[in-house]
Each structure stands twice: as C-alpha cells, then as structure tokens.
Structure 1
Amino acid sequence: MARPSKSAAINLSQPYELTVGLIERLRCPEGKAQAFLRDRDGNGLRVRVTANGAKSFVFEQKLDRKTIRRTIGDVRAWSIPEAQKEARRLAGLLDRDQDPRELERQRKADEAARKAAAESKAAEDKARAVTVGDVWPVYLEKGKPKRRDAWKPRYKADLKAMAAAGGVKKKRGEGLTRPGPLYPLMAQPLASIDEEALADWYANEAKAGKHQAARALMMLRGFLRWCAGRKEYRDLVNRDAGNSSAILETLPATKRRTDALESAQVPVWWTAVERLSNQTASVYLRALLLTGARREELASLRWGNVDLRWRKITIADKVEDTRTIPLTPYLAQLIASLPRVNAFVFAGSGKTGRIADVRSSHAKALGEAVIAGLTIHGLRRSFSLLGEAAGAPAGAIAQVMGHKPSATAEGYRPRSVDALRPYLGQIEAHILGLAGVQFDEDAEPGRLRTVKH
C-alpha cells in the first residue's frame, strides 16, 4: 500500500494509530477553528490542530456526562509515548471520579499558599531582625513631641547622646566619652525589647548612675510609644515594656526642686553676679531672674527678636513655638549694653555662637555671695516667687514664664504684651528694690547708670 502524501486529507471521524508522519499531515479543515485526531488506543488522547496550524496533545473524556478536556502539551515538546502515558494517568483519575482540572487548581493553590507562607516568614524574619539602632535614627528624624513640629535642639542632642557609642574626646576635661546609657540596646532586635530585657538593662546602667539611667528609660519609653503608633513597627514592639514593676520599683525617687532666692539673698547674689568678669554671663544671669525664662529660651535670643523701640522681645517657647513678652526698662538697658558680636544677644565663642553653660560663672558668684544649692533653674522659680511678692497676678506671671495656660490660676486668660507690661515692670521694680539698684530710665540705651544704696 502506497504511503499517503503529506497533502492527503485525514478522515477525522475515525481513530488512528498515532505516528509522527500522521501528525505532520494533520490540517485543520477550512472554516473551522480547531479539529481533533483521536488515538486508537482509546485512552482519551487527542491531537488538536488549530486554524493557524498549532498542534498539541490533549486529553478528552467524560465525567458525570460532562466533557473533560485538558491540554497535555505541544507536540514538539512531548513524544507520542509520553503523551499516551499522561493520557492514561488522567483517565485513571476519572475512573476514581477525580477531576484533573480541580486537582490542578488545588495543586496551584497549595503551591501559591506555600510560596506566600515562605514569603511571609521571610518578611517576618527580616522584620524581627530590625534592631533598635536601625529605627532610632528614624525616630530622631520623624518623631516629635505632642503639639510640636519637631524636637527642641537640646532635647534632640540629648537623645543622640543617650544612644552614642562614646569613645570620642571629651569637650571638657581629659579622656574619652563613655557610651550613652541606651547604647547597649542599639544592637538588640526591636522585637526582643521586653520587660525582662529592659529590667536587666536598667539594673546594669543604674550602677553607673540611677538618675541618668532613669532619664534614659523615660526617653526609651517615648521611643516605644512612637514605634507602637507606626504600622511598620507596631507588631514588633512591646509598648509597655518599660512599665514593668521590676523597673518602676527600682527607679530613684523624684525630688521636686525647690531652690530659689530668698528676698534677703537677692542683694548679695545681685552684687556677686554684677562683679563677674564675663559681662555676657553677668547680664544673662540677671536677665533670667528678671524674666523667669528657661535658660535655653533666653540663651537662643537673637538681636532680630529684640525690639528696643517698642520694648518687647520674642523668645523660643517650650509649649508654643515662641512667646512675646514686654522688655522692661532696666533689662532693655542691660541688653543694649552688650556688644553685637553675632546674631545672638548672649554671644559665645563655641560652635553654636551663643552662650552655652554659665554654671561655672554662677558657681563663682554663689561662692562670693555664700549662697548654696541655687541652680540656674532656681532663678526661674525665684522670678515666680518674687513676682507673687510684688503683687503681680498669678496668670500674668505664668504667661510671662511660658507656663501652659491653667484655668485654676486666677481664672487664667491670655493678656496682650501691653497688658503684661505694668505687671512685669512691677516685678522688675520689686527685684531691683531688693537688690538696692536705682537707675535712670531715660539714660541712653547701652549707657546704663546704676546706683547702689
């Protein structure tokens, strides 16, 4: 029998013993999208050909009176025996009432689930590898206190110092700086910071200094609260880790400072401060007493925020961004007597360009006046007490000092700068009277004439 030509049509109504030549001859009839050549073995194997000439092995049988058709693969990738073997496997599934399509869908779903679980575990492992030191710089950049846009420069510097590695030359004295109290935690995974870990850390740091360790703990608690509010960290952090009884019971007792100048001490303190060789420190210390300002607020005062014409100054504020207070006559002349070295009223020779630390100057004055235990912040308390003695309203004193408004303080209500002016002048006059200072309010600014009586 002669071999059929490659162009000879195949009768697709009957099955054939599949051969490579037969499959090569297979063509899709005109007007049809696809056609099928059946395998004579009765295993459900078919060769499908499409109108564009693409050929593939497919499996086709019935299950519950429904035709099941499944593509096995391209005829160029599968041999006939391989396709027949796969068709027999699929037929065996149907004999057991198992739909190959459902099995394949389940296999893919299981594979996708395993892949997702592996990716999730990898992501979880990666997240749990995040250390405190990885997140701390982000906290310094994006963290901020309530009701403020950013950290105060001094507090941010303290945050950095608490986590610093140390080992750099000290700015004052000999030797190198020691690591900050929080530095040992920087290498720890964020997820490992629990009550037990913090209790061990605090017990070790408290050996070097309880109060410094306690302050570091307060900063860390703020950090943990911030992390708990961020979706990328909240699942890793134990917000309340720093509140365990094991730590709280060992914290040093907080003693509220009450140091302040007594009225009888004002004249000797004033005289000693006035005699300081450092003019800037001398004016700065007296300005702290006359305004009740916080030391950093006054230290950062710039000439651009001093209005000698309208007698008012604008200073940085701990609660708000700034606050404006009256510039009293004596203080105006004190400030005008200072040289204009740079943009800061209280200029300094350090990197910041402003006065930084006057504790040594103040200690010298206290030694001369024989006054013990008076801190720089004690001058702020002194202003408040002396203001009350002068008869100024509590609300006016609070506003000048930048205290948070309190309705309990004589029905607190904000006052304008002009409304504050007589009260602050009243306080200044009282302090100057105690110090035994008389001065000429009409003197040219910068030519202060004082008389001691």
Structure 2
Amino acid sequence: MSKPQNRVRLTAGRVDAFTCPAGKSQAFLWDTDTPALALRVTPTGRKTYVFESRLHGDTIRMSIGTATDWPIEKARGEAQRLKVLVDSGQDPRELERQQQAQKAAAKAAATAKALTVGEVWPLYLEGGKPKRKDAWKPRYRADLEAMAAPGGEKKKRGQGTTRPGPLYPLLALPLAGVNEDVLKSWYDREAVAGKHQAARALMMFRGFLRWCAARPEYRSLTDRDAGKAAAIVESLPGNTRRTDALEAAQVPGWWAGVEQLSNRTASAYLRALLLTGARREELAALTWANVDFQWRKLTIADKVETTRTIPLSPYMAQMLSMLPRMGPYVFASTGKAGRITDTRASHAKALQSAAIEGLTIHGLRRSFSLLGEAAGAPAGAIAQVMGHKPSATAEGYRPRSIDALRPFVEQIEAHILALAGVKFDAQAEPGKLRVVSVT
C-alpha cells in the first residue's frame, strides 16, 4: 500500500501523467476527494481504479475498473458506494460473490428451462436401461428409436418415404413444458393415425418421464405424472389381453408350414419357441456357449431372473445341431445384430400356408403352456421351464432340478411332435438323427 502523503485530487491530466517508478511492481495515487479511491499503475502502464478500506481490523482492497473504462467521477461514486457498505459492516467482496452466484444460478435455471426433450432423449436411450438389466432389449431399443425417428427416409418396402415417429413432435418441446395438457393434445393428434400406436408411444414416454424424474438434474423440470392424467387415460384404447394359441388340430398345419420356410434359421427358431415356451427375445439371444449337448441343457436369458437353465430335449438337440455356426448366436443372421430379430414375416407365410389366422409369435408361448397341460405335465414344471415368476400357491410350487424337469420337457415335446406327425429316433445322438415329417 502506498504512503498516505501520496495524495492528490485526481484529474484527467494527473491520471495520464502518473507512471510506475523504476524497480517497483506497482504504484498508487490516492484521491483527496474520496480517500478510499486510488489509481494503481503497473510497469506495463496499465492503470486501474481501486477501492481500499478496513473492515473488522482487516484491509479490504477491490478493483473497480480501468482508467480507460471508468471516468473519474464514476470511479469516485463507486468507491463511495463501497465505503457505505463497509461502514455498515458488510463485506463488498462477499456481496459480489453472492451476486455472481445468483446470476450463475439464474442463468443455469434459464438454460435448464429451455432444455428440450430432444436433448435429453439420447441420454435416456444410453442410460435408461430397465431395472436389473444391463441394457435395453435390442428390439425394444429399436422401437424406442423408431418412435422418435424424424422420418423422411426411403421405405424398405413399397414406395415413398417414412413418416415421423409418434414421439418425434415431442422432441422439440422444453422438458419443463411437458404437462398433461400438452400430452393430451399430442396424443389426440397421434391417435388419428393409429390409437394403439399412439398408446404404445405414450407408454414409452411415461418411462422417459420416470427416468427424468429420478435424476437430480432433471427432477425439477419433469412432471412425472403428466402422462397419467385422467383425460389421457380415458382416451386410451381398451387393453384386451391376447389369448391366441395353437389348437391341437392346428399343430400339423402350422408345423408343416414352418418346416417349409426357405429361411431355415427362422424355421428352427419358430419351432424352438413352441417346444420351449421361451419368450422371443430370450431365445433369439441364445448363444452356442449356452447350449450343452453333452449334458443336454440350455441356459437362456430370463425376464425375471438373470438366466434360467432348462433341459435340452431330444428333438431340440437334433434341430439345433443341424444349424450352421455363423458366429456366437445359435439363430444367427447376417443383419446388424448378428442374430435373428424379427420373424413375423416368416411366421405369416407359415400361417397363410396353414390357413391359421390371428396367431402371434407370443401365442406360441401360450401354446406351449396349453399343450404342456394336455400332455400331462405339472403346472409348476411348465411355469419353471417358461420362466414364470414362481407362485407358492400353485401346486405347492418348488423349483425342480434339471433332471427332475427333463421327463416333463420330453413328455411335452413328444406330445407336440405326435400332434405334428413327426417321427424320429429319440435315442440317437444330435447330428446323427434323420428327421422324418409325416404329413
């Protein structure tokens, strides 16, 4: 700090003439009109107005601004304002820090308020995996992307370009602006093109809102229950539970239609769904590493648990052994996923050939359960093979070992094959059997 005698009345001429003495890192010229104001100069010639005072026995020094930017009278006024604060016991530096923090918070709030759904949606796709799962199921992830796609791409089938996905209009909206009125208006527009598609898109968007509400950075911006408003729920189409399944009399026609498919992988996959009762994604993700031909076991991904192991029945072993090994997946494909992903077109051909209507891929899972009951297998064994959540009230349920399950799985398989008219040597080793289909 400079010596008290270095005081003059600051004028434009004195400010311009003031320089830093040689050998000094800085020099001060104090104002007589406003004693707390000084002009500081450095060896480079930079001149800055500073405020200096004492608070609670400590020296406070703050920069006001450069002599180029601040006229002398304005600098005096700012020094006087700071002096009033100090005399009242307030630290101007702390007040300035608080103001800067408030400005930063206001700016962050404004930025957050402008955050759009489209900016957060990719983060949801990346990190919004279901509970207890390592990642989205490939099919569901693809559906999420398709629901929010901008459209305009050439159709894979037919002429023209694709239309935007149902969720695409929501991407441009601020996340903080998504409320029940907005979603009701959006749903009503999308339902004109297709109620069930719009309803499915709404269910997916509810998942997105739940994810946002669970994250601290988005929680204050998210109306988690916006998609559950009564006005929206009342507009949803009825959720009719599907009950489609193969009747015993339909099994021969269905089996023959599937066997005749030119896509041999799809043919084996569809038959495997009927013979195991597995969910389509569980079986599609089956790898060769999880097929044990020696001890006749299959380990597949499970919706309830991480995995489940079931017996590998004789015909299934034979069928799988005849598939080409094109990579890690049993039901391999040359597509991007490296495995079979969608067999609806193949299944439709088989259904058309068999004159069967309304049977879905998931209907094959229901068919396994019903045909298993007809074969005389216990309900608990059927549920365990299918990966249903255990029920302690059903059949006094208790998990069975693989060896205990095996007779029932083979019993169900034999019943289905008998209905289909398929005969083969169940005692032969996989790869050595000659399957004969009797129509």
| TM-score, L = length of structure 1 | 0.76
Moved more, 271-280 or 232-241: 271-280
Displacement of 1:408: 3.3
Q: Deviations over 1:51-107 (max 9, x none)?
A: xxxxx99999xxxxxx99998999xx9xxxx9xxx9xx99xx9xxxx9873436166
Name the counterpart of 2:86.
101
Per the alignment, do residues 387 and 119 of structure 1 end up closer, same or farther by CA in structure 2, a change over 3 Å counting? same
Letter in 2 for 1:368: S
Per the alignment, do residues 220 and 314 of structure 1 end up closer, same or farther by CA in structure 2, a change over 3 Å counting? same
For the 8 Å contact 1:45–1:57, the answer to whether it is kept is: no
Which one of the candidate residues 314, 319, 344 is aligned to 1:334? 319
Q: Secondary structure at the match of 1:186?
A: helix
Distance 1:399 1:73 in 2: 76
Per the alignment, do residues 271 and 242 of structure 1 end up closer, same or farther by CA in structure 2, a change over 3 Å counting? same
Name the counterpart of 1:353.
338
For the 8 Å contact 1:163–1:180, the answer to whether it is kept is: yes
Distance 1:402 1:276 in 2: 28
For the 8 Å contact 2:85–2:92, the answer to whether it is kept is: no
For the 8 Å contact 1:440–1:450, the answer to whether it is kept is: no
1:434 maps onto 2:419 in alignment: yes
Displacement of 1:444: 4.2
Name the counterpart of 1:280.
265
1:266 maps onto 2:251 in alignment: yes
Q: Secondary structure at the match of 1:323?
A: strand
Moved more, 438-447 or 122-131: 438-447
Name the counterpart of 1:390.
375
Name the counterpart of 2:42.
none
Q: Deviations over 1:349-400 (max 9, x none)?
A: 3233323332232222222222211111111100011111222222221121
Per the alignment, do residues 418 and 114 of structure 1 end up closer, same or farther by CA in structure 2, a change over 3 Å counting? same
For the 8 Å contact 1:299–1:346, the answer to whether it is kept is: yes
Name the counterpart of 2:435.
449
Per the alignment, do residues 386 and 115 of structure 1 end up closer, same or farther by CA in structure 2, a change over 3 Å counting? same
Per the alignment, do residues 279 and 144 of structure 1 end up closer, same or farther by CA in structure 2, a change over 3 Å counting? closer
Which one of the candidate residues 300, 313, 329 is aligned to 1:344? 329
Moved more, 431-440 or 245-254: 431-440
Displacement of 1:192: 0.5
1:344-423 maps to which residues of 2 (within 5 A)?
A: 344-423=329-408
1:296-335 maps to which residues of 2 (within 5 A)?
A: 296-335=281-320
Q: Percent identity?
A: 64
For the 8 Å contact 2:85–2:91, the answer to whether it is kept is: no
For the 8 Å contact 2:257–2:354, the answer to whether it is kept is: yes
Per the alignment, do residues 357 and 229 of structure 1 end up closer, same or farther by CA in structure 2, a change over 3 Å counting? closer
Distance 1:128 1:437 in 2: 65
Distance 2:52 2:288 in 1: 89
Long gaps (5+) in structure 1: 1-15, 21-40, 47-55, 61-66
Long gaps (5+) in structure 2: 10-31, 37-49, 67-71
Which one of the candidate residues 293, 296, 311 is aligned to 2:278? 293
For the 8 Å contact 1:45–1:59, the answer to whether it is kept is: no
Distance 2:253 2:180 in 1: 51
Name the counterpart of 1:221.
206
Moved more, 318-327 or 337-346: 337-346
Name the counterpart of 1:148.
133
Per the alignment, do residues 114 and 332 of structure 1 end up closer, same or farther by CA in structure 2, a change over 3 Å counting? same
Q: Secondary structure at the match of 2:88?
A: helix
Per the alignment, do residues 73 and 316 of structure 1 end up closer, same or farther by CA in structure 2, a change over 3 Å counting? closer
Per the alignment, do residues 310 and 59 of structure 1 end up closer, same or farther by CA in structure 2, a change over 3 Å counting? closer
For the 8 Å contact 1:334–1:448, the answer to whether it is kept is: no
Distance 2:418 2:331 in 1: 25
Displacement of 1:177: 2.0
For the 8 Å contact 1:165–1:180, the answer to whether it is kept is: yes
Per the alignment, do residues 72 and 322 of structure 1 end up closer, same or farther by CA in structure 2, a change over 3 Å counting? closer
Distance 1:439 1:71 in 2: 97
Q: Secondary structure at the match of 2:241?
A: coil
Letter in 2 for 1:272: G
Distance 2:319 2:58 in 1: 99
Name the counterpart of 1:136.
121
Name the counterpart of 1:235.
220
Distance 1:118 1:257 in 2: 57
Per the alignment, do residues 175 and 418 of structure 1 end up closer, same or farther by CA in structure 2, a change over 3 Å counting? farther
Per the alignment, do residues 100 and 326 of structure 1 end up closer, same or farther by CA in structure 2, a change over 3 Å counting? closer
Letter in 1 for 2:391: S
Per the alignment, do residues 326 and 189 of structure 1 end up closer, same or farther by CA in structure 2, a change over 3 Å counting? same
1:182 maps onto 2:167 in alignment: yes
Name the counterpart of 2:102.
117
Per the alignment, do residues 391 and 159 of structure 1 end up closer, same or farther by CA in structure 2, a change over 3 Å counting? same
- For these two proteins, the number of residue pairs brought into alignment is 394
Letter in 1 for 2:211: W
Letter in 2 for 1:360: A
Per the alignment, do residues 451 and 69 of structure 1 end up closer, same or farther by CA in structure 2, a change over 3 Å counting? closer
Over aligned residues, Cα RMSD in angstroms? 3.9
Letter in 2 for 1:448: R
Name the counterpart of 1:204.
189
Q: Secondary structure at the match of 2:315?
A: helix
Q: Deviations over 1:125-162 (max 9, x none)?
A: 01111111111111111112122232212212211221
For the 8 Å contact 1:167–1:177, the answer to whether it is kept is: yes
Distance 1:202 1:306 in 2: 45
For the 8 Å contact 2:86–2:92, the answer to whether it is kept is: no
